[in-house]
């Protein structure tokens, strides 16, 4: 929806020719909502182990039974991310196999922060008509949305992400309608995974109570003095099958890029205290392709193959590349989990 000029008028600062109308917009006039699923090629490990070793070395090493690496659980934590890294994290020569006691072993995520501690807020400063305290409040709300959407145990097991939904401006009818429909009747056009991380509790369960988090948040002054917040975070989820005695640990890696905008309610038709989502993009590493039931479906080494991979091999831990709306789509193969 586009903003409509209402003619010349006086603002509090004496300037003229201001606008009222919806404040949710992006370059295309519509929130960009898409996702990309990257399937792990675990099902071909036994049948074509040699080929996978060449094409997918990181993954095949992590699936070799008995392969032990160093004490990766004692690796020094990374400092907070303040800018995009220049390259993907180095692949270990002999990565450890993830276990119930060490679910992040053999993964770069072993050095990531735990949960919400990985969402570090930047120092606030005034932006447009917003004071430093108001900007700080928006940044805290943004973190609350990310936490409820991607880290709250209730959300992860498929329950309604009430806190996150409550933060989205109800005057964004297209966004709220899509999210609500996706949670109640998910399909390819209304997919809650575009904003929320959800697993079917009858299929898998999280290992332990820690989700690893890595990323950064920034903000600037946007159009018409709006506060524009940009977030780029990777979340790593260790899971096992929900059956009694299940012991094989795998991981699903979700990278989310979300842009939020907050406008002056004196100039735009917005709900004070709420966030407008101008775009939200997501990539998933190790999740079944072309399944639109509202849940992520991690693939295990002893599982059946999902949809045939049509995209390139991708490292889900590579945060050096910008994730954009036209960065590609389809079902590829991860090089490691």
pLDDT tens profile 167-213: 999 999 889 999 999 999 999 999 999 999 999 999 999 999 999 99
Residue 229: left (phi > 0), alpha (psi -120 to 50), or beta? beta
Structure token digits, residue 11: 């603002």
Please list the ranges in the chain whose pLDDT falls under 50: 1-73, 328
The alpha carbon dihedral of 84, 236, 254, 193 has a sign of: negative
Among 52, 62, 74, 56, which residue's Cα sits nearest to residue 98? Answer: 62
Q: What is the mean pLDDT of the chain?
A: 80
Please indicate, yes or no, if residue 4 is contained in any of the structural domains.
no
Enter the pTM of the model: 0.80
Q: How far apart are CA 236 and CA 23, in angstroms?
A: 33
Instruction: Look up tokens 């603002």; give the residue.
Output: 11
Tens digits of residue pLDDT in 206-255: 999 999 999 999 999 999 899 999 999 999 999 999 999 999 999 999 99
Residue 104: left (phi > 0), alpha (psi -120 to 50), or beta? alpha
For residue 52, the surrounding DSSP H or E stretch is helix 49-55
Instruction: Look up tokens 């989310």; give the residue.
Output: 256
Q: Whole domain around residue 123: which residue ranges?
A: 17-334
Instruction: Look up tokens 């276990």; give the residue.
Output: 99
- Which CA distances in Å does 237 have to 52, 162, 210? 23, 21, 8
Please indicate, yes or no, if residue 293 is contained in any of the structural domains.
yes
The DSSP line for 81-116 is P-S--SSPPPPPSSPPPP-SS-TTTTSGGGGSEEGG
Please indicate, yes or no, if residue 282 is contained in any of the structural domains.
yes
- Percent of the chain past pLDDT 90, that is, above it, reads 64
The reported pLDDT for the residue numbered 42 is 31
Please indicate, yes or no, if residue 7 is contained in any of the structural domains.
no
The reported pLDDT for the residue numbered 305 is 59
CA-based end-to-end distance of the chain: 40
Please indicate, yes or no, if residue 1 is contained in any of the structural domains.
no
The reported pLDDT for the residue numbered 6 is 33
The reported pLDDT for the residue numbered 67 is 38
Among 294, 267, 257, 280, which residue's Cα sits nearest to residue 168? Answer: 280
- How many residues are present in the chain? 337
Please indicate, yes or no, if residue 215 is contained in any of the structural domains.
yes
Number of structural domains found in the chain? 1
Please indicate, yes or no, if residue 10 is contained in any of the structural domains.
no
Please indicate, yes or no, if residue 6 is contained in any of the structural domains.
no
The reported pLDDT for the residue numbered 95 is 82
The reported pLDDT for the residue numbered 92 is 77
- Which CA distances in Å does 328 have to 102, 169, 269, 323? 33, 29, 34, 9
């Amino acid at each position: 929806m586009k903003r409509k000029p209402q003619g010349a008028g006086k603002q509090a600062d004496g300037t003229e020719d201001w606008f009222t109308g919806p404040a949710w917009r992006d370059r295309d006039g519509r929130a960009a909502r898409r996702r990309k699923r990257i399937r792990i090629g675990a099902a071909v490990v036994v049948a074509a182990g040699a080929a996978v070793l060449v094409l997918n070395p990181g993954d095949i090493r992590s699936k070799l039974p008995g392969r032990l690496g160093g004490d990766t659980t004692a690796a020094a934590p990374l400092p907070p991310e303040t800018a995009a890294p220049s390259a993907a994290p180095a692949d270990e020569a002999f990565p450890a196999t993830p276990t119930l006691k060490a679910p992040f072993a053999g993964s770069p995520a072993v050095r990531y922060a735990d949960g919400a501690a990985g969402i570090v807020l930047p120092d606030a400063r005034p932006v447009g008509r917003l004071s430093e305290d108001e900007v700080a409040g928006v940044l805290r709300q943004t973190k609350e949305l990310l936490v409820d959407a991607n880290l709250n145990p209730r959300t992860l097991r498929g329950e309604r992400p009430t806190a996150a939904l409550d933060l989205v401006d109800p005057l964004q009818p297209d966004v709220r309608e899509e999210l609500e429909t996706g949670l109640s009747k998910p399909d390819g056009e209304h997919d809650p995974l575009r904003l929320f991380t959800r697993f079917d509790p009858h299929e898998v369960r999280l290992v332990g109570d820690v989700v690893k988090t890595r990323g950064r948040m920034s903000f600037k002054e946007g159009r018409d003095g709006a506060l524009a917040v940009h977030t780029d975070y990777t979340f790593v989820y260790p899971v096992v099958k929900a059956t009694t005695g299940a012991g094989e640990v795998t991981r699903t890696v979700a990278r989310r890029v979300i842009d939020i905008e907050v406008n002056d309610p004196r100039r735009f038709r917005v709900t004070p205290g709420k966030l407008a989502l101008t775009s939200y993009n997501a990539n998933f590493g190790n999740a079944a392709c072309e399944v639109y039931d509202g849940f992520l479906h991690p693939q295990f080494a002893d599982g059946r193959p999902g949809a045939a991979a049509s995209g390139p091999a991708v490292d889900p831990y590579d945060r050096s590349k910008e994730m954009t709306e036209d960065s590609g789509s389809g079902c590829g193969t991860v090089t490691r989990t």
